Structure 1
Amino acid sequence: MVLSEPGRLEPKEFSVPEAPDEGAVIEVEAASVCGTDLSLYKGTNDMGEFPMVLGHEVAGVVVDGAEETLNRWGVEVSDRVSPEPYLPCNDCEDCLQGHYHMCSEGRLYGITLSTDVDPGIWGGYGEYMYLHPKSRVHAVNDDVSPEAACLSSVVGNGVRWVSRKGQVDPGESVAIVGPGAQGLASTIVAKEAGADPLVVMGLSSDDENLHVASDIGATHTLYSDDPDAAERAKDVAGGSGFDVVIVTAPAEPAVNMAIDLVRPRGRLVQVGLLGEDATIPLNAIVSDEITLLGGRGQAGDVEKAMNVLERNAEDVARINSHTFGISEAETAINRQLPGDEFDSEIVHAVLVPDER
């Protein structure tokens, strides 16, 4: 499925490379519908290179590949894999320092790689996907469902934000503001890190997401639009606030809520992109010596995430609450966007081959 321009998603056929000289081809098992996909479809995200095959949260089976590439990845034809979204150049300063998610070339599967660049199948919204030899690829165990495997990079984000940025230790209190897929994956990682209490907050319209949060590890869930939400949350944490607060909701009120929730000398990890600058109470950050950290995407975090995912595969799969065929991609997108087709029961949608 090709997004030729915002609001226009249509099927198109491509030639699948046979016996590629470099890189590999995977047969797609599943591709989840990220919030970035929604914003590209709406035209509110200027990262996209049109036309493009959407889909950067992907799992599939290797059907062909160059021997040198497969050896470097440590996989073989018929192995199940999940590629990371970022395609590093391995030459720029950020890549050489390990920050390949900030690579100067800015290449991301399903986002910045156009179908005008051969072989065109640079995303997961299709039967097959081409993987560049510089891709970072992770093997997937046979007992992990495609619905869970395609969320490897989402769990990788959780690892980065909870463990690397937030440095959550066992017994520390954690609040996650925003119960979307990123917040739920962070919940699983925080549970594994031993967070206690672990509070997930969302709007009163997020009931289904908050229900999933309770099932996968949150000790408490609260409505963030309750006028007493901050005080109720801090009461759970003992009154003074949380050791770590992670904001995955893309809204200014969520940022301000987080600053209210974090304890003096606590850590706040901001990952939800607002789309514009926000007004925040800087005096509170200074006077309470709050450590404010920005969290982008994963870089070197998916290796650990694969272990977390495998131990929690059923919980991870629950994030992908609704399944659609690839040909139903536009329906899956519209049911997650405000409008007549919106379905509040969808936590996160996943696309699978139509024959499944």
Structure 2
Amino acid sequence: MSSSTNTPITEELPDTMRAVVVYGPGDYRLEDRPVPRPGDDDLLLRTDAVGICASDLKAYHGAAKFWGDENRPAWAERDRIPGHEFVGTIVAGGASALAKRGVNIGDRIACEQIVPCWECRYCLEGSYWMCAVHDMFGFKGYDGAMAEYVLVPAKALTHLVDKELPGPVAAFAEPLSCAFHAVERAEIKFNDTVVIAGAGPIGLSAIAGARQKNPLRVIALDAVDSKLDLARRVGADITINIAKEDAVARVKELTGGYGADVYIEATGHPSAVPQGLNLLRKLGTFVEYSVFKDAVSVDWSIISDDKELDVRGAHLGPHTWPAAIKLLEAGTLPMDDICTHQFPLEKFQEALDLVGDSAGSSVKVSIVPSMS
């Protein structure tokens, strides 16, 4: 197969590839699709691994956050290849694209999930992660990486990752960077008691990030003992099984009756929101990271008149990717026990179903297209 002189290729690319394609909620199919051909400003990656996120599952199940309702527009698209937590090896790219990113054919990169427009108010202000257009790999505007190959457009943000890391570990840079952003939003201080709700991929990542800030104590909440064991291994000082203990009472006991200074919500379960409001001290900080399937109601008087809380959202992982990748490359996190399950593309449905089993043994589930 011939190629343009502006698009160096290191291997003979096939005409078609296997890819998961979105037809609508509950209707994802494995198909043959054309292998994308990069233009002068693009790169083409051979997908090494793509993680499955809770947001992927909620989109699959038709949550209004993704598919829209009378109150919000849809931003998940049909005829789209999903997968936004990915890492891949560069197999083709325009000379200008390689030079601009300082990479070579054969390098491995991870991509930030948002593809900013670089023209709207937020992008021009430097807040690219809040881009008004908000195209994202796998959801809107650009195909994701649940496929053998993925195209990286000129507007995307990329980061070099060590080729020696296992693919699923390298792809974990995405949830880790997201959680690091939530930790930064919390503005953690040395004397703080920090409570993190949830010991799934985002919660564990937030615990690891909070540990880097070295507060007085990090407390992890979950209902699964095996996940709480893992929480201790990534940096939690204290763990509380919310199915066996009253988390609010225990946290207040540990803090002289006052409550926690910081609460980071990383479960996506509605009950975790009032839990956080109740266990925070007055003038505490609540950081919300989760994507909820349904609307959540709380007593707002706790936020205002009772405690004057600082409630902050956190979205994506701006400016935290280098730190996340550095921590993964250092090898200090128990990634073999975090990246628990890998599946080939043909078993994508099993992978999605496993992510939905919150009481099961899985932590991070990934698809590795090279698996047979």
Superposition TM-score, scaled by structure 1 size: 0.90
Q: Partners of 2:85 and 2:132 in 1: how far apart?
A: 21
Partner of 2:273: 255
Distance 1:317 1:67, change over 3 A: farther
Shift of 1:227: 5.6
Distance 1:162 1:32, change over 3 A: same
Q: Partners of 1:252 and 1:313 in 2: how far apart?
A: 32
Partner of 1:82: 110
- Contact 2:86/2:111 (8 A) holds in 1: yes
- Contact 1:199/1:222 (8 A) holds in 2: yes
Q: Partners of 2:29 and 2:370 in 1: how far apart?
A: 15
1:48 maps onto 2:63 in alignment: no
Partner of 1:321: 340
Q: Partners of 1:34 and 1:19 in 2: how far apart?
A: 27
Partner of 2:58: 39
User: Which moves more between the two structures, 27-36 or 321-330?
Assistant: 321-330
* Unaligned 5+ runs, structure 2: 1-19, 68-74
Q: Partners of 1:147 and 1:195 in 2: how far apart?
A: 29
1:297 maps onto 2:323 in alignment: no
RMSD: 2.0
Q: How does 1:30-179 map to 2 (within 5 A)?
A: 30-44=49-63, 45-46=66-67, 47-113=75-141, 122-163=143-184, 165-179=185-199
Shift of 1:301: 2.5
Q: Deviations over 1:46-84 (max 9, x none)?
A: 131012111100011111111212222221111111001
Which amino acid counterpart does residue 345 of structure 1 have in structure 2? Answer: S
Shift of 1:283: 2.4
Q: Deviations over 1:123-153 (max 9, x none)?
A: 1111111001111000002343222211212
- Contact 2:193/2:262 (8 A) holds in 1: yes
* Unaligned 5+ runs, structure 1: 115-121
SS of residue paired to 2:154: coil
Give percent identity, aligned residues only: 25
Bigger-Rg structure (1/2): 2
- Contact 1:49/1:112 (8 A) holds in 2: yes
Q: How does 1:335-350 map to 2 (within 5 A)?
A: 335-337=354-356, 344-350=360-366
Partner of 1:117: none
Partner of 1:22: 41
Q: Partners of 1:282 and 1:100 in 2: how far apart?
A: 30
- Contact 2:48/2:370 (8 A) holds in 1: no
Q: How does 1:206-217 map to 2 (within 5 A)?
A: 206-217=224-235
Shift of 1:171: 4.1
User: Which moves more between the two structures, 13-22 or 44-53?
Assistant: 13-22
Q: Partners of 2:330 and 2:316 in 1: how far apart?
A: 22
- Contact 1:73/1:136 (8 A) holds in 2: no
Shift of 1:90: 0.4
Superposition TM-score, scaled by structure 2 size: 0.86
Distance 1:278 1:10, change over 3 A: closer
User: Which moves more between the two structures, 44-53 or 128-137?
Assistant: 44-53
The number of residues matched between the two structures is 343
Distance 1:270 1:17, change over 3 A: closer
1:309 maps onto 2:328 in alignment: yes
Distance 1:260 1:343, change over 3 A: closer
Partner of 1:184: 204
SS of residue paired to 2:106: coil
Shift of 1:240: 1.7
Which amino acid counterpart does residue 137 of structure 1 have in structure 2? Answer: T
Partner of 1:234: 252
Distance 1:242 1:4, change over 3 A: same
